[in-house]
Amino acid sequence: MRRLAVLSMHTSPLAQPGTGDGGGMNVYVRELSSALARAGVACDVFTRASSSSLPATVEVEPGLVVHHISAGPPTDVPKNELYSYTGAFADGVEQRLEVLSAAGFPTDAIHANYWLSGIAGHSLKHRLDLPLVSTFHTLDRVKAEASPDEIDPLDPDRRARSEAEIIGCSDAVLASCSTEVDQLVDLYGAVRDRVEIIAPGVDHAFFSPGDKAQARRALQLEFDVPLLLFVGRIQPLKGADVAIRTLHALARFNLDASRLLIVGGPSGPSGGTELDALRRLTVELALSDRVQFAPPQPHELLSTFYRAADCCIVPSRAESFGLVALEAGACGTPVVASAVGGLSSLIESGRTGYLIESRDPMAFARHVARVISEPRLARELGANAAERARSYTWSIAAARLRRLYFELTARSLVECR
């Protein structure tokens, strides 16, 4: 059996998405590794131990093991401070890989997720003479304008420099869509032939169309009012404030009975401040009784929230792919989203949902109002979205990645640029 070392330093695939730094990347690492294991590629996932009580290893399923690596203090560390511990993380991974190899389980390749893991992966590639595959999930030169609060004031260019170095030495870089390919090539000088499009998937056993009334009953929500849904980490990048202002703007369309459900928890250095600001905004706009905040949910339970909604709003400032939009569409719920990043490839405006070119809440509200007010249109959009989502599966992603790993192990390693 082939064996892959998956690096996910800053967040564990065992952590619940929507909490802390956990989000779509957690889902990506866990689901893709699981699909690879079922396809015959064993995955050892390495993440930083954020507590001294965590076991050294956790067998998630046959062929998928999560390893907790000591690197820095055994406690939660802000993501922008983890750079100092990338060397210790690489050392810990190397030691664990040596133990596995001695036991008859040698590693064939490294897959680094996010730039912090990429730094460790870059080092391990040369120490162990193994091919390096990198997935960035977000790129600093794309995200900088949309999320300036996450820029390190002491070394604002450090992440971008590191990303460029990792890209220059990766044997393959994975992108979720053609938009991300162009960003890697245009902003970082990536060699286009080394960038592979492997889109994330969705687990259709959980995320599929269902009965709206039953979903609302399960969540104890009102049956007779239009419901908007926002799912995501609470941070400025995700734009929950636009969702709230969109709800307020619906009064212009005689839809002032509508409700908004926000599912997610604070994330990043300004997450707590952002949540406080959102609550104040609901008071200022007299929406306190029409906006409900729900804590992060176990991933598989999100399908009930998607089915309960009339429309899912994804007003992100930047988005490399947009897993929430895919999952909502898979559940047959129309999506109104920002025309940014992967969302522009994922949503076919006017057929599976709507893309909004600006951050104007009135523009969002105009299209949300159409979805709510025209049941036939909503059904068509939802059916088209569910049909389109069927082409996105983790098994397809794993099959493509498995072929790529086999190809890489037969090539000479790329030299650093």
In this prediction, residues 385-405 reach a mean pLDDT of 95
| pLDDT-above-70 percentage for the chain | 96
CA distance 307 to 217: 11
pLDDT at 20: 63
| pLDDT band per the 50, 70, 90 thresholds, residue 151 | low
Pairing of strands 57-61, 64-69: antiparallel
CA distance 136 to 276: 30
CA distance 383 to 113: 33
Domain 2-201+393-409 matching CATH 3.30.565.10: the answer reads no
Query: Which residues, in sequence order, are bridge partners of residue 133?
Result: 111, 172
Where exactly does CATH 3.40.50.2000 map onto the chain? 2-201+393-409, 212-389
| pLDDT band per the 50, 70, 90 thresholds, residue 78 | confident
CA dihedral 258, 203, 297, 225 (to 10 degrees): 10
Query: Which residues, in sequence order, are bridge partners of residue 227?
Result: 259
**pLDDT tops 70 at residue 287:** yes
- State whether residue 364 is helix, strand or coil: helix
End-to-end distance of the chain based on CA atoms, in angstroms?
32
CA distances from 389 to 190, 386, 392 (A): 29, 5, 5
Give residue-wise pLDDT tens across range 350-369: 999 999 999 999 999 999 99
CA dihedral 294, 297, 300, 301 (to 10 degrees): -40
| 357 CB-side CA count, 13 A | 0
Domain 212-389 matching CATH 3.40.50.2000: the answer reads yes
Question: Who's near 95: CB < 8 A, 6+ residues apart?
Answer: none
Query: DSSP letters of 20-79?
Result: TT-SHHHHHHHHHHHHHHHTTEEEEEEEE--STTS-SEEEEETTEEEEEE--S-SS---G
3-state helix, strand, coil in the chain (%, to 5): 45, 15, 35
CB contact at 8 A, 338 and 360: no
Which has the minimum average pLDDT: 28-32, 76-80, 104-108, 202-206? 76-80
pLDDT at 364: 98
Q: Which two tokens stand for residue 149?
A: 């609060």
CA distance 209 to 270: 35
**pLDDT tops 80 at residue 268:** no
Pairing of strands 132-135, 227-231: unpaired
Query: Which residues, in sequence order, are bridge partners of residue 229?
Result: 261, 312
Give residue-wise pLDDT tens across range 18-51: 666 667 899 999 999 999 999 999 999 999 999 9
350: left (phi over 0), alpha (psi -120 to 50) or beta: left
81, burial (CB in 10 Å: exposed 0-12, middle 13-18, buried 19+): exposed
Predicted TM-score of the model (pTM)? 0.92
| pLDDT-above-90 percentage for the chain | 84
In this prediction, residues 218-234 reach a mean pLDDT of 94
CB contact at 8 A, 150 and 143: yes
CA distance 27 to 11: 11
Mean residue pLDDT across the chain = 93
Q: Higher-confidence residue: 312 or 155?
A: 312
Residue corresponding to tokens 């239009």: 226
In this prediction, residues 272-278 reach a mean pLDDT of 93
| 364 CB-side CA count, 13 A | 28
Specify the length of the chain in residues.
417
**pLDDT tops 70 at residue 148:** no
| pLDDT band per the 50, 70, 90 thresholds, residue 370 | very high
**pLDDT tops 60 at residue 11:** yes
Which has the minimum average pLDDT: 136-150, 151-165, 205-219, 223-237? 136-150
CA 100 to chain centre: 30
Give residue-wise pLDDT tens across range 171-197: 999 999 999 999 999 999 999 999 999
